[in-house]
């Protein structure tokens, strides 16, 4: 290990120690404030003498919420955790602080390692550090997904206990109350909330409020079925309780969902890391290649190497985002973004911002407007069309500016390389020893004086350089061949230095990249739409389960079924909502219009059965095949999930491994092969000249 690397490691360790001391100092200061004194007074005589992680996380939460950068993440965590920890502020704060602390303990060391590895390239260091901010989101989402999955697994046991309690009390609300007394399970809080809804003065209104905050669709279904059973009563179907049969149907759906998530987690658990890994390997790979094959230095430290680095970074970023979207469960993922007043809304409220956005925004009622609006609906995006165009314009401007900055940086990097490259007249397979490198740098420093003399003078000729060389003290006793070689070398370097400035085609490229950036939000919407279309079959089978639960309940009609389908719809939400709104004007006509808007055949069959139930036959007769072929639909659901997972896995592997393949092929193999062949050709040419 070299002394320089050892110095970096020691510096990193000192940095970590300084951060720990700073956090300890801030915590000690906060503890002196009134809030902590109140907590201490309340805890007198009750708190344990030993160290308490519970209290530590509460203090960390207060600290995080006051730090501007970390406040964004802690609020994002709150918005999802307070749904799981319903009406439990203490646990919400504790879990938020715990998850964020763990994420920081992983990201901070990675950031220090990144700084050490990329210390020779500030641009790459900056890009990697920005990229690592996205890692916090990944770690946070992963931790909350674990809590979601834990809640789902608890629900299976919870519903099993509900069955036993219902046999004992034969009352829905009492069964839920007794089962919810276990405070150790997160699902018990949800059970208590459902119990409070059922015994409230206006359970229907309270139930609608709960639908908006329920962690997953299975708790929504359970709450809805419990309410309908309490209101209309239970009945026997084939000698068994209809309520318990419906609870059993929900349990089977949950078990299928748990298996699906477990398999998706297994498939995608390493893909996110694999997609990120290449950016951390760029600098070590470059250093290894240069140390073993010195002739590649001009490529890696010049513009070609920088361009390939940037392309790999962009590809890595895109792959990382797409892999995350592919893995997204979709069923319990809650929108944690500020949808009421995000930064896009603030930009659009500004007079100047509104004028600029309106210039690009398609007119309402036009074909383009309807197309974009439909894409937003089909992708289940929280964005309004105005916010989408704020994103597009912002990304286009940022892409253009970043492109110009990068072009300028690459020109400066090429000039710096000419001024700092050790000058040799031969290609090396390895690195130079200390003596040869010193002599090569002396030649470079001599050449730099002539470059400074003629830099910016575009009409400089080789004769001008020759006259300057002959007058120079470095070549007073030099031979003609040596002078000619120096003149040729300096002239070639001068051509590079004088040509490194912003070209017209680079400005054109910046605008082309801006157009690409402008289109990226639309392409992301299209990708989301495609991924949602893959899950169409899964959603329709969910509809079949809902209808199976509702069709034998007394006083349930087609309108109630449509309202339930709308509540749980995701992909087909827009046409079902439209049908519900038009239902009063004509039931059969509203269903017929929805059938025309939908192209997925299994859903069309459900709509036709609903039409039959409106005018001709009872609901239970219209959907009797769902009950008689329940086992078949269960097996079909399992097979559908298997196909969905395989398809996602195939797409995910292609996207996840793309950066790794591009890194090895584009950043290692191609440079070594082509530059090596070019170097060998030049060497043979020199040998022929000398012979």
The DSSP code sequence of 427-495 is --SSPPPHHHHHHHHHHHHHHHHHHHHHTT-TT--HHHHHHHHHHSGGGTT--HHHHHHHHHHHHHHHH
**CA distance readout (Å), 651 to 60, 322, 358, 647, 648:** 40, 10, 37, 6, 5
Q: Are 361 and 287 in contact (CB under 8 A)?
A: no
d(CA 173, CA 198): 7
Structure confidence at residue 14 as a pLDDT band (50, 70, 90): low
Nearest CA to 375 among 525, 519, 524, 521?
525
* Residues in the chain, total: 691
pLDDT(588) > 80: yes
Digit-coded pLDDT (tens) for 513-552: 999 989 988 888 887 787 777 777 778 888 888 888 888 8
pLDDT of residue 321: 80
Residue 12 or 663, more confident: 663
Helix, coil or strand: residue 90: helix
pLDDT bracket for residue 619 (50, 70, 90): confident
Q: What is the mean pLDDT of residues 556-578?
A: 85
Q: 463-476, pLDDT tens digit by residue? A: 887 888 888 777 77
The neighbouring-strand residues paired with 241 are 236
- Please give the helix or strand (H or E) that residue 624 lies within, else none: helix 624-628
**443 pLDDT higher than 70:** yes
Q: CA distances (Å), 94 to each of 59, 149, 189, 328, 621, in order?
A: 9, 19, 16, 25, 52
Band the pLDDT of 508: cuts 50, 70, 90: very high
Going along 534-662, which residue ranges are E strands?
none
Rounded to whole angstroms, how far apart are CA atoms 203 and 184? 27
Give the per-residue SS3 of 235-296. Answer: CEECCEEHHHHHHHHHHHHHHHHHHHHHHHHHHHCCHHHHHHHHHHHHHHHHHHHHHHCHHH
Q: Would the pLDDT of 160 be above 60?
A: yes
Distance CA 290, CA 120 (A): 14
259 pLDDT above the threshold of 70: yes
Q: State pLDDT tens for residues 370-380.
A: 888 888 877 76
Q: Count how many Cα atoms sit within 13 Å of the Cα of residue 355 in the half-sphere of its side chain.
A: 2
Element (H, E) at 110: helix 89-117
Closest among 253, 247, 215 to 234, alpha carbons compared: 247
Is residue 609 within 8 A of residue 595, CB to CB? The reply is: no
Tokens read off for 129: 């550090």
Running DSSP on this structure, what letter comes out for residue 330? S
Of the chain, the percentage scoring pLDDT greater than 90 comes to 2
Q: What is the pLDDT of residues 325-351, one digit of tens each?
A: 777 644 334 444 445 567 788 888 888
Q: Average pLDDT for residues 444-454, to the nearest whole number? A: 80
Nearest by Cα to 224 from 536, 553, 537: 553
Which residues are paired to 236 by β-bridges? 241
Please tell me the pTM assigned to this model: 0.68
Element (H, E) at 573: helix 573-582
Kindly state the tokens that stand for 576: 């079902």
DSSP conformation class of 668: I
The answer to whether 249 and 213 are in contact (CB under 8 A) is no
pLDDT at 26: 66
How far apart are the C-alpha atoms of 129 and 66, rounded to whole Å? Answer: 23
Average pLDDT over residues 581-603: 85
Measured CA angle at 561 (ends 232, 628), to 5 deg? 90
Res 69: pLDDT? 80
User: Is the pLDDT assigned to residue 7 strictly greater than 60?
Assistant: no
pLDDT computed for residue 330 by the predictor: 44
Q: What is the pLDDT of residue 334?
A: 42
240 phi and psi, to 5 degrees? -125, 155
pLDDT in tens, 277-304: 787 777 788 878 877 777 677 777 777 8
Confidence category of residue 431, pLDDT binned at 50, 70, 90: low
| Interval 38-67 mean pLDDT | 69
Residues 520 and 396: beta-carbon distance below 8 Å: no
Q: Are 582 and 590 spatial neighbours (Cβ–Cβ below 8 Å)?
A: yes
What is the pLDDT confidence band of residue 452, given thresholds at 50, 70 and 90? Answer: confident
| Averaged pLDDT for residues 301-318 | 81
Give me the helix-helix angle, 601-615 and 536-550, nearest 10°: 20
What is the pLDDT at residue 70? 83
Q: How far apart are CA 630 and CA 626, in angstroms?
A: 6
Check the CA dihedral 591-593-598-602 and report its sign.
positive
Task: Locate 227 and state its tokens.
Answer: 């309410």
Closest CA to 139 of 109, 174, 184: 109
């Amino acid at each position: 290990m070299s002394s320089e690397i050892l110095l970096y490691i020691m510096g990193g360790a000192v940095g970590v120690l300084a951060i720990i001391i700073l956090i300890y100092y801030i915590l000690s200061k906060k503890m002196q404030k009134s809030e902590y004194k109140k907590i201490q007074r309340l805890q007198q005589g009750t708190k344990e003498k030993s160290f308490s992680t519970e209290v530590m996380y509460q203090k960390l939460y207060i600290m995080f919420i006051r730090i501007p950068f970390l406040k964004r993440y802690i609020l994002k965590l709150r918005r999802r955790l307070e749904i799981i920890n319903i009406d439990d502020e203490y646990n919400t704060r504790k879990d938020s602080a715990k998850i964020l602390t763990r994420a920081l303990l992983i990201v901070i060391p990675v950031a220090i390692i990144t700084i050490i590895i990329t210390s020779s390239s500030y641009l790459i260091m900056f890009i990697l550090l920005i990229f690592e901010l996205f890692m916090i989101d990944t770690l946070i989402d992963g931790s909350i997904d674990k809590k979601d999955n834990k809640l789902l697994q608890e629900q299976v046991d919870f519903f099993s206990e509900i069955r036993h309690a219902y046999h004992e009390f034969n009352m829905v609300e009492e069964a839920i109350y007794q089962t919810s007394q276990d405070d150790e399970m997160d699902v018990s809080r949800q059970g208590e909330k459902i119990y409070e809804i059922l015994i409230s003065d206006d359970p229907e209104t309270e139930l609608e409020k709960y639908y908006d905050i329920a962690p997953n669709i299975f708790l929504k279904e359970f709450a809805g079925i419990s309410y309908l059973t309490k209101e209309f009563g239970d009945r026997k179907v084939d000698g068994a309780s209809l309520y318990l049969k419906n609870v059993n149907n929900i349990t089977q759906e949950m078990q299928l969902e748990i298996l699906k998530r477990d398999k998706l987690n297994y498939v995608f658990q390493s893909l996110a890391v694999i997609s990120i890994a290449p950016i951390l390997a760029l600098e070590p790979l470059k250093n290894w290649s240069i140390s073993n094959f010195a002739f590649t230095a001009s490529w890696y430290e010049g513009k070609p190497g920088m361009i390939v680095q940037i392309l790999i970074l962009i590809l890595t970023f895109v792959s990382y985002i797409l892999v995350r979207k592919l893995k997204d469960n979709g069923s319990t993922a809650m929108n944690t973004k500020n949808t009421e007043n995000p930064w896009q809304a603030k930009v659009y409220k500004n007079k100047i911002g509104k004028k600029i956005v309106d210039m690009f925004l398609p007119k309402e009622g036009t074909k383009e407007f309807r197309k974009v609006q439909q894409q937003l609906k089909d992708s289940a995006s929280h964005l309004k069309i105005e916010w989408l165009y704020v994103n597009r314009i912002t990304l286009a401007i940022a892409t253009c500016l970043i492109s110009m900055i990068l072009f300028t940086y690459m020109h400066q990097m090429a000039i710096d390389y000419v001024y700092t490259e050790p000058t040799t007249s031969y290609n090396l397979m390895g690195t130079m020893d200390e003596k040869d490198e010193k002599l090569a740098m002396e030649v470079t420093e001599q050449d730099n004086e002539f470059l400074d003399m003629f830099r910016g003078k575009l009409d400089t000729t080789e004769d001008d350089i020759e006259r300057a060389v002959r007058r120079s003290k470095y070549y007073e006793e030099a031979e003609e061949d040596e002078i000619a070689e120096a003149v040729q070398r300096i002239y070639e370097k001068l051509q590079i230095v004088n040509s490194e400035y912003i070209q017209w085609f680079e400005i054109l490229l910046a605008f082309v990249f801006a157009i690409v950036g402008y289109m990226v939000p639309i392409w992301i919407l299209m990708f989301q739409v495609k991924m949602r279309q893959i899950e169409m079959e899964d959603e329709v089978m969910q509809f079949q389960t809902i209808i199976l639960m509702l069709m034998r309940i007394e006083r349930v009609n087609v309108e109630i079924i449509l309202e339930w389908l709308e509540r749980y719809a995701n992909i087909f939400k827009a046409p079902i909502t439209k049908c519900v709104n038009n239902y009063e004007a004509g039931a059969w006509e509203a269903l017929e219009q929805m059938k025309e808007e939908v192209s997925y055949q299994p859903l069309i069959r459900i709509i036709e059965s609903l039409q039959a139930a409106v005018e001709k036959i009872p609901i239970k007769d219209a959907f009797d095949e769902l009950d008689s072929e329940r086992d078949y639909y269960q097996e079909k659901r399992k097979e559908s999930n298997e196909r969905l997972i395989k398809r996602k896995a195939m797409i995910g592997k292609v996207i996840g491994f793309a950066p790794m393949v591009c890194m090895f092929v584009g950043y290692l193999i191609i440079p070594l092969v082509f530059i090596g062949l070019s170097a060998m050709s030049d060497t043979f040419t020199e040998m022929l000249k000398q012979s």
